[in-house]
Amino acid sequence: MASHDTDLSAATWRKSSYSNGTGGECVEIADGLPDVVPVRDSKTTDGPAVVFPATAWTPFVTAVTKGDLSL
């Protein structure tokens, strides 16, 4: 599991290509951090980030893309 105290002060964030353009459902991902993938709400950039272990990120994105996750 990723540490809750991961330093994200130097993170470079990018908006997900799956974010919509109407101001809702917007997430940003920080690339290039060793072993973790931080995700945050792009409307609240000073808010918290969820930090996923990098080993869990690819299977998560694959499941979302395939529609394998249900609400």
> Burial, 26: exposed, middle or buried (Cβ in 10 Å; 0-12, 13-18, 19+)?
middle
pLDDT > 90: percent of the chain: 31
Whether residue 2 has pLDDT greater than 50: no
Q: Is the pLDDT of residue 7 over 90?
A: no
Q: Tell me the pLDDT tens digit for each residue of 9-21.
A: 888 999 877 666 6
Residue 34 has what pLDDT? 86
Assigned token pair, 4: 């809750």
- 3 band by pLDDT with thresholds 50, 70 and 90: very low
Q: Share the mean pLDDT of the chain.
A: 83
